[in-house]
Amino acid sequence: MHTFRVVKEPNGWAIRLNSGMMTPFWSRDLAVQEANCLCDALRGHGVGAKVEIEGVACAEPAKASPGHTRAAKFSVRLRRRAALG
């Protein structure tokens, strides 16, 4: 099972997988949203994955605030474009 940990960093929020870290995110909501997307992708391939959020006892998917929806849509478009090569 893969565990993506959303943690507070000096430059924002980050997603950690073991000792590795992704690019920092400006907000906790964006980091949680990306971690959930990563988990969904792994689960789609039959791999166990979960999200743990620093400071939250029960890791439930965070809802993005209205200001973050544009950034989230842009992020999805970039991932799709990269996947198409």
Give the mean model confidence (pLDDT) for residues 26-33: 91
| Per-residue pLDDT at 6 exceeds 90 | yes
How far apart CA 21 and CA 57 sit, in angstroms, is: 22
DSSP-assigned letter for residue 4: E
| pLDDT at 81 (0 to 100) | 67
Q: What is the pLDDT of residues 32-43, one digit of tens each?
A: 999 999 989 999
Report the DSSP pairing between strands 49-53 and 2-9. parallel
Mean pLDDT check: name the lowest of 28-32, 35-39, 65-69.
65-69
Nearest to 49 by CA among 57, 58, 40, 59: 40
